């Protein structure tokens, strides 16, 4: 399927791997951006946050990051300060962030990506932990 999808991906993250798998299970080969190697520009990051309808704080990742050490839990910090922190430490950008013609979304849980895919799933899909997300007929499991 010729659909332009971008996934800001961390191959070390199970949620990110599952999201990528669901995109491919729809017959789409996305543009994969390993954002820890190739970080988005500040302008692009702000645009993605805006398009996702989020605040910068909503995109901050705490687990396995310098979040606490940097004092990012301080609610008085401005959006600019939070974006500055994400630019200085890309590991603070939560993942996976997916861009499609249908919108931009932080896909946590991974099956949230199904709302961004224009086509159906081509077959069954189970997450790495074995949880069935899509059945054999390509339908989302409730």
Q: Which of 8, 9, 10, 13 is catalytic?
A: 13
DSSP string for the chain = -----EEEE-TT-HHHHHHHHHHHHTT--PEEEETTTSPPPHHHHHHHHHHTT--HHHHB--TTSSTTTTTTT-TTS-HHHHHHHHHH-GGGB-S-EEEETTEEEE-SSGGGGGGG-SS--SS-EE-TTS-EEE-TTSPBP-
Q: What would the two tokens of residue 39 be? A: 């970080």
Active site residue 107: no
Q: Quick one: how far is CA 52 from the chain centroid?
A: 10
Catalytic annotation, residues: 13
């Amino acid at each position: 399927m010729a659909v332009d999808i971008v996934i800001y991906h961390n191959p070390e993250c199970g949620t990110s791997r599952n999201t990528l798998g669901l995109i491919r299970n729809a017959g789409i080969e996305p543009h994969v951006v390993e954002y820890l190697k190739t970080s988005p520009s500040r302008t692009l990051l702000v645009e993605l946050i805006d398009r996702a309808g989020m605040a910068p704080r909503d995109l901050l990742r705490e687990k396995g990051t310098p979040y606490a050490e940097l004092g990012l839990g301080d609610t008085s910090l401005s959006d600019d300060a939070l974006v500055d922190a994400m630019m200085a430490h890309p590991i603070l950008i939560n993942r996976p962030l997916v861009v499609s013609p249908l919108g931009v979304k932080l896909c946590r849980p991974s099956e949230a990506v199904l709302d961004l895919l224009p086509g159906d799933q081509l077959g069954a899909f189970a997450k790495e932990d074995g949880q069935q997300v899509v059945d054999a007929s390509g339908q989302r499991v409730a």
